[in-house]
Copies of this chain bind each other. A is one copy, B any other.
Amino acid sequence: MKFDKESNVLIIGLGVIGGSYAKALTEKGYKVDCITLERESIDYAKERGMIRYGTTEVEEELVKNADLVIFAIYPGAFVEWIKKYGHLFKKGSWITDVTGVKGSVVYKIEELMPEGVEFISAHPMAGREQSGVEFSDPSVFKGANYIVTPTEKSTPEAIALCKRLGEELGFARISELSPKEHDVMIGFLSQLTHCIAVTLMNCSTADGLEKYTGDSFRDLTRIAKINDKMWSELFISNKDALIYQMDTFIKEFSDFRWLIANENREEMREKMRASTERRKLFDKPKA
């Protein structure tokens, strides 16, 4: 397994994240090729020097020569791709991804790996509310978190290489979680927040509200601009963890509602002091 400037890196799916990976790695001097659905994405990336070569076909030679293959496509499509073309991977190559759910994907993919090829999964905790390669921007990785999600079968070598990939991409904090721990955590930090943002945005259709809004509402709904195809798939793939988090939120929110309804100022203030204190932990580290 290798990951150096001589390695052939192949990115599958040149969207906003795949594109950001391509740009970051090319800028660092890696050789980056890609396979993606739309000719326009390739043209865009080629014109800007983001990739060495791109194709809309799964060209066998390209896959066979790759030392590292990075999947940046939807979970369902990822599994289908591996079923169809996984046998082409070169012995000694390694495979990673950016998929937002792990439990329902990682073990399936691992099972499908040919002899001598290792899959090591990761989740870059950065993105943009827009989709498409034209919004790719590796600066979103600065100061951001990157999580490697090894299984019992993962080798220390693959874990180390995958962490190095995170460093090369510019992530600030790199850590490890099991696929299950990842899914519980992501149900809370990412999926619940998207459900809240979509809900808040849909609570009122009153005309002209934008004339009165402040930054609070803007911040809480930034991610209500959402890729509906991808996120509906992610929500369903992690349904149990997400529903648990939603129920926890409803319970805590109802408690707070009760305090307001009863004008229980002291307990309300206690909860606000707790949230103020805890929020300090989550400030973004300097890149």
Contacts of A281 in B (CB 8 A): 209-210
Q: Which B residue sits closest to A283, measured CB to CB?
A: B218
Contacts of A252 in B (CB 8 A): 199, 202-203
Partner of A204 from B188, B203, B216 at Cβ < 8 Å:
B188
Contact indicator A213/B272 (Cβ below 8 Å): no
Q: How far is the CA of A219 from the CA of B116 in the complex (A)?
A: 42
| Tally of contact residues, A, Cβ under 8 A | 89
Partner of A202 from B125, B192, B275 at Cβ < 8 Å:
B275
Task: Indicate how many identical chains form the complex.
Answer: 2
Contact indicator A212/B185 (Cβ below 8 Å): yes
Question: Contacts A213-B189, A223-B216, A272-B232 hold; do A202 and B278 have CB atoms under 8 A apart?
Answer: yes
Q: Mark A238-269, 1 if CB is under 8 A from B, else 0.
A: 01001101111110111011001101010011
Contact indicator B261/A239 (Cβ below 8 Å): yes
Q: How far is the CA of A194 from the CA of B200 in the complex (A)?
A: 12
Q: How far is the CA of A144 from the CA of B213 in the complex (A)?
A: 8
Contact indicator B192/A265 (Cβ below 8 Å): no
A271 lies within 8 A of chain B by Cβ:
yes
Question: Contacts A125-B213, A145-B213, A214-B145 hold; do A201 and B278 have CB atoms under 8 A apart?
Answer: yes
Given contacts A145-B214, A189-B213, A213-B282, 6 further A-B contacts (CB under 8 A): A145-B212, A145-B213, A196-B196, A203-B252, A220-B223, A239-B261
